[in-house]
């Protein structure tokens, strides 16, 4: 045992070489941001027996991040993108299924302005006039407080609010960018607790995520959030593939945020 220990402590590798070993150029093609997914009855991990209704799971690893009822988790949001999640009508089943994501353009002076685009529409997809639904979605880039407190390497997550949860997304957006700005604070100045509540409609039982402000973010955690903001605001990245079956189809009113 002593011989093994001695060998490990006298590796023929200098500190500079060790540092170089961990250096690798990373481009936007390599960077994948995992999503925090709220498990619903039709979520793949639930149907496979790997998760339970109401779990919040890492889309990349399946790790349990929290639960809607008894294990809320805290996040530091530092960036938000507003998009339309486009659902198209499947010709065979007649059901609306996920097609693609489109950025929301709010400037009416731009030719691609679409902030007031109708919820239901007909557009050309793959050369075919297709019925679609535009589901407004708030995509927040967040850091987990538990990751930051652990002192380990920290990666951001994508936390989305749409359909029945879009109201909570709007609330978080306003607290980050409207209230904090009015108070002279940065978007990441407060942490938020993510939990959920159980609801039921004609599609069945499902969980709606909830957002509550907690405490001020520490300067060190604000710095970590700002470092990621600088990196991701200038670098394209790919979000990990989403489990688009995780949430039951919303009714017309909930999909447009009218509760």
**Which pLDDT band holds residue 53 (cuts at 50, 70, 90)?**
very high
Q: How large a percentage of the chain has pLDDT more than 70?
A: 80
108 falls within a domain: no
20 falls within a domain: no
238 falls within a domain: yes
118 falls within a domain: no
49, 254 Cβ separation under 8 angstroms = no
150 falls within a domain: yes
Confidence (pLDDT) at 121: 96
Name the domain count of the chain.
1
What is the average pLDDT across 25-49?
A: 84
Confidence (pLDDT) at 188: 97
Whether pTM exceeds 0.85: no
173 falls within a domain: yes
Render pLDDT for 211-243 as a digit per residue (tens, 0 to 9): 999 999 999 999 999 999 998 987 766 676 654
| Residue 151 structural domain | 28-80+140-245
115 falls within a domain: no
11 falls within a domain: no
Mean confidence (pLDDT) of the chain? 85
Confidence (pLDDT) at 258: 28
């Amino acid at each position: 045992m002593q011989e093994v220990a001695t060998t490990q402590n006298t590796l023929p590798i200098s500190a500079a070489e060790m540092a170089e070993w961990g250096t690798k150029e990373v481009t936007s093609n390599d960077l994948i941001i995992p999503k925090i997914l709220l498990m619903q009855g039709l979520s793949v991990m639930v149907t496979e027996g790997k998760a339970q209704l109401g779990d919040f799971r890492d889309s990349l690893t399946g790790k349990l991040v929290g639960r809607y009822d008894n294990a809320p988790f805290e996040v530091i949001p530092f960036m938000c993108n507003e998009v339309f999640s486009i659902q198209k009508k499947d010709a065979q089943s007649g059901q609306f299924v996920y097609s693609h994501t489109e950025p929301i353009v709010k400037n009416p002076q731009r030719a691609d302005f679409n902030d007031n685009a109708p919820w239901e529409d007909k557009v050309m997809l793959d050369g075919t006039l297709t019925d679609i639904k535009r589901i407004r979605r708030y995509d927040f880039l967040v850091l987990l407080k538990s990751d930051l407190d652990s002192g380990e390497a920290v990666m951001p997550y994508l936390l989305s609010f749409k359909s029945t949860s879009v109201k909570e997304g709007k609330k978080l957006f306003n607290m980050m960018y409207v209230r904090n700005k009015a108070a002279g604070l940065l978007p990441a100045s407060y942490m938020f607790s993510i939990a959920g509540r159980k609801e039921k409609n004609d599609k069945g039982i499902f969980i709606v995520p909830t957002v509550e402000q907690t405490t001020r973010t520490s300067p060190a955690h604000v710095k970590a959030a700002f470092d990621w903001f600088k990196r991701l605001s200038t670098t394209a990245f790919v979000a990990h593939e989403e489990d688009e079956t995780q949430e039951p189809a919303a009714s017309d009113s909930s999909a447009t945020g009218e509760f």
